[in-house]
Structure 1
């Protein structure tokens, strides 16, 4: 389906200005929000944004394996390992062998990690409520629904790309 859609778009010769691309706008907004978070809350704890995301995900879903953390943060393995190393070095998480599977490490917050997370979360929630204040409750629900649908489309796109790559390998 992805291939047919690409061919149809090329045949129609329709152009969409860069500033109207969904992916471009998401990237810009995410970068701006991340920059505000980093400047106001994250940097004072000597964390990177990927490390903060990892800390937040472990706080919400932990204990987790590195693979689970990577899946929940949509991060590549290199970035996940660097984030884990930084958080362990700072004493914010523990990395211990899983008793059920010694090949797997279990990541969880330390008391200091919980405290750091709670401090940063207060600022993050202030930002979140500020962003939502510009929208009606119906607009927030619509935005959440739209984001879920776009996320599903991205997953389908990724599956199509993966299937295409696998087809090329045959």
Structure 2
């Protein structure tokens, strides 16, 4: 593979750390992380999985909430008074999956529907006291997981990472939503 396709690395300590990781990971994961022309996508997914898997397993074991249910509860915990369509647009999960998750949360009385003060014909979601308790109990565990993941970076590197990710998120609406232009599929 050409050097252009490899993920950019240049620090000798980073190279040593990478070599140690090469010995700990299975060969396919190593290839996907370092010898991959799509290194960014795989690394983002790898890191996200390392955050999400233990967090969602813990939440399911402790609270009986599967990932889509907690995604919805967490969204309402961060910003109450949102409509289900707002959760769908921010979650990256299918609408029907989130709709079922929201229904289960309503049945378990972890969420409640309220009339939208801006449009009396619509409803928004809010946490119930039981839903708020789960949100408040899970937040320290999630922050702790993030803190552990970021511990390898200095404060300046964490700030730089945040700024670089901000740039990418802000630019994301300009990225193609479909890989094939309409009418060209076979």
Please give the TM-score of this superposition, normalised by the length of structure 1: 0.76
- 2:42 and 2:131 map into 1 onto residues whose CA distance is 34
Q: Tell me what 2:71 maps to.
A: 53
Out of 23, 42, 45, the position equivalent to 1:27 is 45
Structure 1 position 90 matched with structure 2 position 108: yes
Out of 96, 108, 112, the position equivalent to 1:78 is 96
Structure 1 position 135 matched with structure 2 position 153: yes
User: 1:50 Cα deviation (Å)?
Assistant: 2.2
Q: Which runs of 5+ in 2 are unaligned?
A: 7-30
CA distance 1:101–1:124, change in 2 (3 Å) = same
User: 1:97 Cα deviation (Å)?
Assistant: 4.5
User: 1:18 Cα deviation (Å)?
Assistant: 3.9
Alignment deviations for residues 43-86 of structure 1 (CA, whole Å, 9 cap, x no partner): 31011122212211111111100111112223331222122112
Runs of 4+ aligned residues of structure 1 deviating over 3 Å after TM superposition are: 14-18, 96-99, 161-165
- 1:87 and 1:152 map into 2 onto residues whose CA distance is 32
Across the two proteins, how many residue pairs are aligned to each other?
153
CA distance 1:42–1:129, change in 2 (3 Å) = farther
- 1:38 and 1:58 map into 2 onto residues whose CA distance is 17
Contact 2:81–2:116 (8 Å) recurs in 1: no
Q: Tell me what 1:107 maps to.
A: 125
Greater RCO structure (CA 8 Å; 6+ sep): 1
Q: Which runs of 5+ in 1 are unaligned?
A: 1-13
CA distance 1:42–1:138, change in 2 (3 Å) = farther
User: 1:134 Cα deviation (Å)?
Assistant: 1.8
Report the more deviating stretch, 111-120 or 147-156: 147-156
Alignment deviations for residues 7-56 of structure 1 (CA, whole Å, 9 cap, x no partner): xxxxxxx7566434211221222122111102334431011122212211
RMSD of aligned Cα (Å): 2.6
Higher helix residue share: 1
Q: Tell me what 2:141 maps to.
A: 123
Alignment deviations for residues 114-147 of structure 1 (CA, whole Å, 9 cap, x no partner): 0111111121121122222221101111111111
Please give the TM-score of this superposition, normalised by the length of structure 2: 0.70
